[in-house]
Amino acid sequence: MEEFRKKLYASFDFALIPIADFLIGHRVTPNRLSIAALLLNFVAALCIMLGGLALGGIIYLLAGLVDLFDGTVARRGGLSTEFGGFLDSSFDRISEGVIFAAITYGFAANGNAATAAVTVLALLGSFMVSYTRARAEALGLDGRSGIASRFERLLLISIALMAGFLEAAIYFLALFTLLTVSQRIWSTYWQLEERKAGIRPPAP
């Protein structure tokens, strides 16, 4: 799964190069793109709260595409900074939080308390997927296992909003974020055990 994800990201990155070079030429910085993506996510959340699910899904997907550019612009323009990476990760969590808050509001306002509660669990699972990766990588390990990375989560929810199967997508996401967190905990445990045993991980 990780190899497929790498190839997919590389394909996206290659496709984004001409636009990224245009943005660099017009002095658009990665941090500005991160801020633009964050603002778009707030607009998407507002649309969702007002009942415009399809429009919210389109804007959410657009925000995700804008967010993809910041990394490409940073690499192509030699603009990568530690603060930029920190800001991007922080804004990603805020963006996901406001989108899921809007979805929770929608289910609760329509009297669907059970799915509203599951949406909160899906958000918790999404945050934990990111957190377990960050903690594993802070230990010098590979924390990318599992199938519910941010890209997959964003794609699933944006398509579900546009296509009208949001409730099913929320239950699916709650389950698969839980599975991904479990995979990453298990993987981290075994990597630490291998480190103690002096077994070197394979080269990436």
Is 171 exposed, middle or buried (CB count within 10 Å of its CB: 0-12, 13-18, 19+)?
A: middle
Other CB atoms within 10 A of residue 175 CB: 15
CA 193 – CA 200 distance, rounded (Å): 11
Catalytic residue selected from 67, 70, 88, 92: 92
C-alpha distances in angstroms, 31 versus 14, 57, 84? 21, 23, 6
23 and 73 Cβ atoms separated by less than 8 Å: yes
Q: Is 142 in the active site?
A: no
Q: Which residues form the catalytic set?
A: 92
